[in-house]
Structure 1
Amino acid sequence: METVIIGSGLGGITLAEELHKLMPERSIRVLTQETHGYYARPMLSHGFTRDDIEEKIILKSFDTLRALGIEIDAGCTVTAIDREKRQLLLLDHGQERLLSYELLILAPGSEAFVPPPFQTLGSQLRFVNSLDDLIGLRRLREQALAADVTPSWGVIGGGLIGCEIASDMARAGDAVTLIHPLPKLMERQLEDEDATLLAQVLLEQGITLRLEETVKTIRGTEGAMNIALQEEILGPFTGIVLATGFKPRIGLAQSAGLKTDRGILVDEWLRTSDPSIFAIGDAAECANGQIYAYVLPVRQQASWLARYIVGQEAKPWSPPDFKPRAKVHGFTATLPYKN
């Protein structure tokens, strides 16, 4: 029996490392679908201006973590949780197997949110939610360059991630059109003055902004995609990137009968409705109703939970005072961020 962590993102790996430091004799196993290693997900939206991104984004290889004494099952999918038996059903390289746990921590992260109008488009859309996503986009870009064509992108969504991606693509020399349904970019984070400044910065980078526009449909094949607005057809684009937000991965928890809402519901001790299962990161909906998807709170959740598990923490977890920051080339907000 051992402590099992599902997910190898910031929350999962930080928890595994901190727990191992505090109690080296404890058996810790991380289950992950990833095969590349532990990487810096925030760097994904800056993966077009750096030729070495596929190597530099890796913070630690899985072999490095194994050498520390942490078991890593890579390329592994957890398909079911049997809470009564405290067992997991795994699909590991095509083979099913069972794994018992004493304590289970869910840190599955989030996936791209696809609005209903786009859900039937399938492979016509690209995302920047994983290293595999980024590698796919970079290969598509290389194909265009090999054909002596300037890569061109349609980015749908003018939130934080969409603006970062668009800016990095433009900095790499690509043609970019950014489409947003609202009159202001990053309306959740920026005051009006800074939203205007951000738009100016992106325009100066050569990005075409289409604000207050609704995408009607997407047509074409990869390498020659078109976006149909209400009264105009845009393109052709090398590819279309959907950046309309993320949603917590809660399917496994739901199928196990754990309480969920927007995320996996946890109390002030990050415990789910099952006392032997905890959840952290951007899949966990905390007691205050918030989901924390940024580096600082996720890292603090993981460190706090490690201390709590070994009996070194007597106070509930409380979120840090923080505000997200956009990492758009050439942009610095002049006013405090909203949230």
Structure 2
Amino acid sequence: MPFQIRDQHGAARSVAYLMLAAAVYNLIASVITKLSEPLVELIAGAAAALGFLAIGVICLRRPQALPRLFWPAVPLLSAVTITGLNYATRDTTLGSQLFYLWPLLYSASFLGRWLTVATVALISAGHGAVAFSFSPDLRHAAADWFAITVAMAMTAFVVAGLRERNTRLLEVLEVQASSDALTGLANRRAFDEELTRTVAAATAGGDPVALISVDVDHFKSINDTWGHAAGDHALRAVADALRDGGHHVARLGGDEFAVLLRGGPDAAVRYADQARARVEATAGLPCGPPKLSIGIAVLPDHAHTAEELQRVADAALYQAKERGRGQSAVAVSAA
């Protein structure tokens, strides 16, 4: 069955703490308080405690060493184990049923909807088997089974709902943390991360990747003459023009933009010319279409690392400005 662990680190910690607590509990309940019992039972209790301890330590130290199916199997096996212990002790009291909360909360917090439903169903079936087998009154057993089933189902529903809401909030925060509020483009933080990934992938595959640095010419005069609203409108127009192409585009701050393009110098120059033409065709700007100065650098033609690529692209941008702005310049080939 396909599944997804939500927060692998949290799931590992949860299982680890359960196993460590189970080790201590088993050592006290099965060994220390029963020293008068047969030696075989004491050895079995101690061995179980050591087993729980070992699993707990692995979950804390090396959770990646455990098989992938271990994580969805944990709540199901826990529910079966709790049922087995309750059945063996003929315990139908409420206290013994509270142990079912751990596999329930684990599933609702870290696993998907269907595994959570399966855990609730297994808990309901397990408690029903114990209640109907050992309760003297069948009507009381039925009422108790129904109450536990409803309580567990509602608890799972609430916890899963809170988890999904938290996930959505985290996604919103992640988008806000990695995007520019004015243009909707990636911000510098997101761009730096993407640049590192793209350069690593290009280096491993031997493919070229171009970094295109873009500045809006005389942007300060646009703000001073036409106002910041007009300046914001111009920045959005530039962002739309750069975005039209499917490449990774970011606003680095102010009037600075950057584009990552999979391709060589010729493809980067064509993109730059097309972007400039799209900006020039923009209507409705009170200040008129802004001019763009563009610097182009390509890995491995002009640089060999992400840092070098940024440096030579900026150098090419300054060269375009020195030539009179409103044009593109390509970096000098690396030695």
Q: Does the alignment reach a TM-score above 0.5?
A: no
Question: TM bucket by the smaller chain?
Answer: under 0.3
Give the number of the structure with larger relative contact order, counting CA–CA contacts within 8 Å between residues 6 or more apart: 1
Q: Looking at secondary structure, tell me which structure has more helix per residue.
A: 2
TM-score by length of 1: 0.23
Q: Looking at secondary structure, tell me which structure has more strand per residue.
A: 1
